[in-house]
Every structure is written in C-alpha cells, then in structure tokens.
Amino acid sequence: MITPLFLDTTEHRHFSLDSRVAIEGVCKATEPEVREHLPMLPDKLELACQTGTIVIPETGEMGLAISPTRVGWTVDERREEGIAAIARQQLRFTLFHELHHLARGWVIYRSDPPTSFMEGVVSEGLATVFEREVAGRHTPWGEYPAEVDTWVEELMALPVTAPYLPWMIQHTDGRRWIGYRAGTYIAERAIRASGISAAGLVHTPMEEVLRMAGVVR
C-alpha cells in the first residue's frame, strides 16, 4: 500500500481535491505493477508530495528515494497543465524508478554510507532501465552518446565525495545527466551479459554489476 502524504495547508492550497484523487489513483494502480517485479518492497510505503520549482523541466516533477519506506515527489504547481495532469502523465513512471531505489537500498537515509561514487551511477542506471523496460517511459537521461565510454572513465575516477549535482544532473560544461546516462549504459551491458533483468539485479552489488558490464575485471 502506497499512502500519499500531502505537504500543504489544511485548505488544500497546493493540492486540490482533483489533484489528490489523481495522485491517490496513480499510487493505487501502480503499486501492484511494481510489486510484481519487486516483491521484496515493504508492505507499507509513503509518497510525500510537495510543490516546488526544483523539478525535471521535461516532466514538471521529480522523485526522490528518501528512506526504505518513503518516496518524495515534487511537482511544479505553476505549470499550465496542472498538478493532476502531471500526476496522471508522469507519476506512474517516477514511482517505478524510485521504488527500484527503495528495493535496492539506494536511499538518502540509510545505515551504510556509499563507498564509491559509482554506487549512485549504477543504481540510477538500473532504475532507469527498470522504468523503461517495465513501465515504458523512454527518457533523455536514459540515452547515452557514442563517447559514453569516456564518461564512464571520468566517473570511475571520481572520489566518493565528488559533488553529486554536476555529475548526475547538470555539469558546468553543459552536459546533463552524465551519471544517469553512463549508468544506463552500464546497466544495459550488465543485463545483456548476464541475461538478468534490472529487477533481477536489484540486490546485485555495484562491483558485480561493473564486472558484468565489462567496466572492471
């Protein structure tokens, strides 16, 4: 069960009744789809919804894996299409992506800190492929250029303390989603080599995924 939490006023200043019904409907319909592939997810899950401008411009919303039982979802209420429409168009896909993170344990509040920057790269790649192959959303952050091997080398050389935003979202040199796109490339190579799906690799350690992909020996 995914329980939506609406972070607004009691007067529904940001989330109208229509938008709440839309979000609740998407959660109810999407949960069994995801659990079919990720049955290890906790029985009770939460979707913490808030409005804001820090979203993916292409979708008008953005998800975040907060804890083992909670996904955060930010939606831009200023968009012409409105919150309810964005929820109906995008939230299902975002839930697939973020719930893969929860199943993998790639969440903000976790007991063990990451030991390599590549943990995030691999986790985002696997979630992106899962979102595409099972839910059907093809995303620009899931497409990689011909020189992606060079991007992988750059990311492999980063320390675990490297800044997240430039390498995963927007680099100062103009590139976007370097880590996501390189991670998708790695995930696809690992899936082809192993014959195991992104859902099947959800608990596979980063080092093993890199070996499957031929990135390390």
Burial string for 60-75 (b: 16+ CB within 10 Å, else e) reads bbbbbbbebebbbbbb
The Cα–Cα gap between 120 and 174 comes to 21
Supply the angle between the helices 92-104 and 17-37 in degrees, to the nearest 10: 50
Q: What is the pTM (predicted TM-score) of this model?
A: 0.96
Length, in residues, of the chain: 217
Confidence at residue 9, expressed as pLDDT on a 0 to 100 scale: 63
Tokens of 187: 């995930």
Question: Do 191 and 131 touch, CB atoms closer than 8 A?
Answer: no
The Cα–Cα gap between 193 and 170 comes to 30
The Cα–Cα gap between 17 and 95 comes to 21
DSSP-derived secondary structure letter, 176: B
| Successive 10-residue mean pLDDT values, the chain, 217 residues | 86 84 98 98 97 95 98 95 97 98 97 94 98 97 97 98 97 98 98 98 98 94
